[in-house]
Structure 1
């Protein structure tokens, strides 16, 4: 007999981050060294990026990120709300499931460039300086729709059949089954889908800013920095974007652990050698 232990999530995260940083540094000092006679490099070292962030301070970056975070959060709420509503409708009207699934699949397969081009024509960008971009909000909502629809449907179908039969025997309707059985059974899958949707919403908002008329945001800032060949600050914005997405992912994950403690619990057992 031998003890079977699982690596803690925080340790796995630290190891993964260390590997990524090491690979980043290795590429910057080997494959992407500055050309002879110049100081420009497309891949600066991690230390150069951190030094730039330290010298600049977070204030100028926050004024950029707060717009994109607002767009991502708004799109996240709308996209997930519509996805959960449609998934719930399928349970009440099962014949609609093929239609809803086709809509979800089509939304996932649509080319973002084409959809973004149509969105900017129909919805436009920010109406006034400092406003959120309607196109960015739409693409953020579209980015989370498929994941949440599929996750919710799979979760709803995970409900115990015997428990559903008990509710039916006592005169419960499909809505009662949904409220008292299916939602509880589906909570882990729904929360997992909502957690995965966080980085997708942030990415969708950034892509929308690339296409939408907006004066401030991560997307337009990256365009300006790329035009100035300021690779160090491009990577700084990229690093901060990863941190913001990771924080959002962690917050939803923490909520998931609090709401579904029976899933997040860890036990240590023994297995045969």
Structure 2
């Protein structure tokens, strides 16, 4: 007897309700005496603060951070895809490229950010994106995309590659006609994972003091003011932005590669 799968939307609702319930229990467990600072406010307090402030009050800092994350996403993933493609054209470079990707993943972003703020600096003008935040966002996505692209390129059907080779196609033709098509699902999955990673890297770069208006500097100010409701409100908005970006790339992946889910044309 075939088991019925839980619909995706229902699983999402159940997960969200469970998360809110755990948050509420966690807030009760760490609730201090009345009149003192509350490190973990309840969901009701946080959502009430969001409703009182309005989303427009948070758009300014998020606009800067989203811009930094987008720049870092484009630069980091472009470099990763370029290097992965180079490995296919020159296979002997693969161990070197893989080692570089692993080293970039193992680097502590906090230490790298301290060096980057000295070398690259922060925002040139008030409200501009930070070069350090862009660099850390690009560094954060590099490893995932390199590995995803390499695995995707290697998943190409050998028979299709042989057909291209028989008809006189070189490595560039194989890359364009076969390997890119075969690697597209893996590349899109890597890019999907890179969306929240780029946002996290940008926020971490802002913690280095590289901007005067951003999510990172806003969190520092709110924590200094012991404004826990707004701190958690910013946390929620960060998660929402990352989820929206993740979902948007997932939708693009479904539209571009329908054969992965068996929705291709007959």
Q: TM-score, with normalisation over the residues of structure 1?
A: 0.94
Corresponding residue of 2:169: 172
The partner residue of 1:222 within 200, 213, 219 is: 219
- Asked whether the equivalents of residues 155 and 187 of structure 1 are also in contact (C-alpha less than 8 Å), the reply is yes
Q: Does 1:90 align with 2:84?
A: no
> For the residues of structure 1 that align with 2:57 and 2:106, how far apart are their CA atoms?
36
Gaps of 5+ in 2: none
CA distance in 1, matches of 2:124, 2:164: 51
1:260 alignment partner in structure 2: 257
Q: Does 1:238 align with 2:235?
A: yes
CA drift at 1:40: 1.8
Q: Does 1:6 pair with 2:5?
A: yes
Q: Does 1:33 align with 2:31?
A: yes
SS of 2:35's partner is coil
Deviation at 1:222, TM superposition (A): 0.2
SS, match of residue 2 in structure 2: strand
Q: Report the Cα distance in structure 1 between the residues aligned to 2:6 and 2:72, rounded to whole angstroms.
A: 34
Question: Is the Cα–Cα contact under 8 Å of residues 64 and 217 in structure 1 kept in the other structure?
Answer: yes
With CA pairs under 8 Å and 6+ residues apart, which has the higher RCO, 1 or 2? 1
Residue number among 151, 154, 166 corresponding to 2:151 in the alignment = 154
Asked if 1 retains the 8 angstrom alpha-carbon contact of 2:105 and 2:143, the reply is yes
Shift of 1:136: 0.3
Deviation at 1:14, TM superposition (A): 1.8
- Equivalent residue for 1:270? none
| Structure 1 unaligned residues grouped into runs of 5+ | 267-273
**What is the alpha-carbon distance in structure 2 between the residues aligned to residue 59 and residue 258 of structure 1?**
32
TM-score when normalising by structure 2: 0.97
Q: What is the match of residue 18 of structure 1? A: 17
For 1:231 and 1:23, the matched residues in 2 are separated by 18
State how many pairs are aligned.
264
Distance in 2 separating the partners of 1:4 and 1:207: 44
Structure 1 segment 101-140 matched on structure 2, within 5 A: 101-140=98-137
1:264 deviation in Å? 2.9
In structure 1, which of residues 60, 66, 71 is the aligned counterpart of residue 68 of structure 2? 71
After the TM superposition, which segments of 4 or more aligned residues of structure 1 sit over 3 Å from their partners?
A: none
Give the superposed CA RMSD. Answer: 1.3
Shift of 1:37: 5.0
Distance 1:135 1:125 in 2: 6
Question: Paired residue for 1:182?
Answer: 179
Query: Is contact 1:76-1:144 (8 Å) kept?
Result: yes
Asked whether the 8 Å contact 1:222–1:237 carries over to 2, the reply is: yes
Local SS of the residue matching 1:211: coil
CA distance in 1, matches of 2:200, 2:245: 12
